[in-house]
C-alpha cells in the first residue's frame, strides 16, 4: 500500500469520526442535568462572629446588675434533629490572662462576681436560674452543660438564644471605677 493510499484512508477515517452536526433535518438537542448539594449548616447572625454586651450600671454595692444580648442561630432543616447543641466556653477577651468568663479589670487585679444564663425560644431547656461563671459542677462553663435546640423547625430556621450576664461586687469590696471585660464563645455543634 502506498503512502498516498494510507493518507487518503486516514483522512476518510477522520471525517467519518466527526459528529454530524446541523446536517439533515433540524436542530440537535441535548439535556444537561445539574445537581447542587447543600451541606448542613448553622451560623450566628453576627457577621463578625463578635457581639458586645454592656452592663451600664454602677457597681458600688452587693446589688446585682445584669444585661442581655439575643443572638440568632440560623440552620437548615438537616441540622434540626434534636442533636444540635449549643455550648458556652470562656474566651480570651483580649487580655490573654482572662479566658475565664469572669468580668475583670484591665490588669486582672479585680474581679466581679459573674453569673450567666442561656435562655430563649430556640432552646429546649433554657436555664431557669443564674449559674456561676466557672467550669465546676453546676457552673455555666461546665463541659457537660449543653443546650439542645428545640426539635422541629421554627420560623425561618431562626433560633433565638439570649445570653444573660449578671455582675456584682465581691462581698466587702468596692471595685474601682473602670471597665471590666470578659468574653464567652457560643458554639453550635451537630
pLDDT, greater one: 94 or 179: 179
Q: Cα-flanking dihedrals φ and ψ of residue 179, to 5°?
A: -95, 135
**pLDDT score recorded for residue 7:** 47
Domains of the chain by residue range: 42-189
Q: Read off the pLDDT of residues 152-167 as tens digits, 9 standing for 90 and up.
A: 656 677 888 888 888 8
> What residues form DSSP beta bridges with 117?
164
pLDDT, greater one: 59 or 151: 151
Q: Read off the pLDDT of residues 79-112 as tens digits, 9 standing for 90 and up.
A: 666 677 888 888 876 665 567 888 888 888 888 8
Nearest to 154 by CA among 106, 120, 107: 120
Matching CATH number, 42-189, of 3.90.70.10, 2.60.40.1090, 3.40.50.10300, 1.20.140.10: 2.60.40.1090
Residue 183 scores a pLDDT above 90? no
Residue 133 scores a pLDDT above 60? yes
Provide the CA 110 distance to its chain's centre, in angstroms: 31
Residue 138 scores a pLDDT above 50? yes
Amino acid at each position: 500500500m502506498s503512502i498516498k493510499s494510507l493518507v487518503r484512508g486516514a483522512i476518510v477515517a477522520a471525517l467519518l469520526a466527526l459528529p454530524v452536526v446541523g446536517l439533515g433535518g433540524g436542530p440537535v438537542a441535548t439535556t444537561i442535568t445539574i445537581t447542587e448539594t447543600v451541606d448542613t449548616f448553622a451560623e450566628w447572625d453576627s457577621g463578625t462572629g463578635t457581639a458586645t454586651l454592656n452592663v451600664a450600671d454602677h457597681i458600688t454595692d452587693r446589688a446585682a446588675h445584669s444585661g442581655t444580648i439575643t443572638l440568632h442561630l440560623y440552620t437548615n432543616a438537616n441540622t434540626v434533629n434534636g442533636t444540635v447543641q449549643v455550648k458556652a466556653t470562656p474566651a480570651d477577651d483580649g487580655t490573654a490572662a482572662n479566658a475565664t468568663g469572669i468580668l475583670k479589670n484591665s490588669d486582672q487585679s479585680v474581679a466581679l462576681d459573674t453569673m450567666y444564663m442561656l435562655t430563649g425560644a430556640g432552646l429546649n431547656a433554657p436555664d431557669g436560674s443564674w449559674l456561676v461563671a466557672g467550669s465546676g459542677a453546676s457552673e455555666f462553663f461546665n463541659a457537660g452543660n449543653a443546650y439542645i435546640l428545640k426539635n422541629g423547625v421554627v420560623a425561618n430556621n431562626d433560633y433565638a438564644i439570649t445570653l444573660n450576664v449578671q455582675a456584682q461586687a465581691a462581698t466587702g469590696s468596692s471595685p474601682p471605677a473602670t471597665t471590666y471585660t470578659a468574653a464567652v464563645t457560643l458554639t453550635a455543634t451537630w
